[in-house]
Amino acid sequence: MKRSSRLNTYGRSAHGVFINGELRESLAYKVLTPAARLVLIDWIGKYMQLSRGDTSRIENMSFTFSDLKENISYRTFATARAEILRRGFFREDPDQQTGIPGSRRLYTPSTAWRAYQPCPEEQKRLDAAARDRNAAVKRWARFKTDQALKKQGRRHE
């Protein structure tokens, strides 16, 4: 049996980050800033590598600015990291920290993001984004209908 070869459409790497639908549809993910989403993708990528694809439990892992693959400033990274921790994707247990100045912080993966509830301000942003998306989908549907009717030589009333 011939083994199928990779198409390498998006690169030749043998590893990558899979962001599944459950994560993308979660409220915790939706309220993240775009920069925090990029940092989270890199952080999950490192976790997946260390945990062998989420098959081994990882209690103490570090994730620092030097682990980041995205080209963002340290200040943006620090803000994004705090956002990710606040939303429950990872947690920082004070008992796990070494207490030695300059040492790396240690984090534990968490599933608390599944139960995250947005604050009223975040909920307003989510509602506005949903309204904007629905309006855009309706405009697109109207455009498609108009184009189909134009092909038939009729106009939409």
Tokens of 125: 């942003």
| In the chain, domain spans | 21-117, 118-157
**Per-residue pLDDT at 140:** 95
Average confidence score pLDDT of the chain: 84
**Per-residue pLDDT at 93:** 78
HSE of 108, CA atoms in CB hemisphere, 13 A: 12
**Per-residue pLDDT at 15:** 63
> Scanning the structure block, which residue is given the tokens 């307003």?
124
**Per-residue pLDDT at 17:** 73
What is each CA distance from 111 to 116, 121, 136, 137, in whole angstroms?
10, 23, 33, 32
Query: For residue range 47-80, what is the model confidence (pLDDT) as tens digits?
Result: 888 888 778 888 788 888 988 888 899 999 999 9
Low-confidence ranges of the chain (pLDDT < 70): 1-16, 94, 96-103, 154-157
**Per-residue pLDDT at 139:** 95
Compute the distance between CA of residue 44 and CA of residue 133 in angstroms, rounded to an integer. 28
**Per-residue pLDDT at 99:** 66
Compute the distance between CA of residue 116 and CA of residue 87 in angstroms, rounded to an integer. 6
**Per-residue pLDDT at 56:** 80
**Per-residue pLDDT at 7:** 58
Contact 40, 17 (CB under 8 A): no
**Per-residue pLDDT at 12:** 64
